[in-house]
Copies of this chain bind each other. A is one copy, B any other.
Amino acid sequence: MTDSSSDLPELWTHEPHIHLEFKPGDSVAAIDTNATPGFRGSKSDAPALQEERNARYAELQEMLYASSRAGDHRRILLVLQGMDTAGKGGIVKHVVGSANPQGIQYASFGKPTEEELAHDFLWRIEKKLPAAGHIGVFDRSHYEDVLIVRVHDLVPPDVWGGRYELINDFEKRLVDDGTTIVKVAMFVSLDEQKKRLSERLDRPDKYWKYNPADIDERLLWPKYQEAYQAMLERTSTDYAPWHVIPCDRKWYSRLAILELLIEALKGLDLAWPPADFDVEAEKVRLAQA
């Protein structure tokens, strides 16, 4: 009783990874952040579809968790990268969060602490890797070490330059050990970013999400664009490809990443683990207990 049949909703023309996977030659500068690749429907279709697919995702997540209790070692790691306001928080809340928190391991990676800086850049990452049966979500990740670190010259070029290969080797090890890595790079246009930052300044319940440094980063967009381009080119591997998500329409980016997670889970051919006890004998014991 495995669960790998395609159940892709008709509103998708193909499985979203076909549209969204980064391909050699793709250019960050040319991303249409307002597009909805592969999706036939419109915004009005989104709420019902999201609810339906959230439930599907939660069911598969429970199967993954159950399998680990029967010795299955596999796990999922969702890596979220993107400029400020791209919607990483919304993905955590509205997509990842629709599953049981028992099986979710959330980690965010901000400015490294002194202790973290006293170690190799992957040290803090290793500590937050999901355990068997879990879905880990990285809100920013080891890729900060070739993005903000590169843009701000926080380490010399030969140091960050060496990290692409280190990251590939690291991810290879995780994949070989049973981790399915889903990497999504989330892009919004500068106009849409301005709108979203502006909303944070207009609403007192959003002030806490606003950081004046966001504007400084925004002004560095050309340098970030180069850093994202290099990241996508150098770390999109066959075992852990990047997906490029247009994020001007939040409803689309949520549906797309949700579908990528479902694809990853379905790729595991999950099944409810068989009983490791004699079911009929236990029924008798229970009746007497």
Which residues of A pack against B, CB within 8 Å? 1, 66, 69-70, 89, 92-93, 96-97, 99-102, 104, 106, 108, 137, 139, 194, 197-198, 201, 204-205, 207-210, 212, 215, 218-219, 272-275, 277, 279, 282-283, 285-286, 289
CA distance A131 to B195 in the complex (A): 32
The residue among A137, A207, A283 with the most chain B CB atoms within 10 A of its own CB is A207
Q: Would A197 and B97 count as touching, CB distance under 8 A?
A: no
Shortest distance between the CB of A33 and any CB in chain B (Å): 18
Q: Would B198 and A286 count as touching, CB distance under 8 A?
A: yes
List 9 A-B pairs, minimum CB-CB distance, nearest first. Answer: A66-B208, A207-B275, A93-B100, A205-B272, A97-B101, A101-B106, A215-B289, A208-B273, A212-B277
Shortest distance between the CB of A63 and any CB in chain B (Å): 8
Contacts of A93 in B (CB 8 A): 100-102
Shortest distance between the CB of A53 and any CB in chain B (Å): 17
Q: Would B97 and A215 count as touching, CB distance under 8 A?
A: no
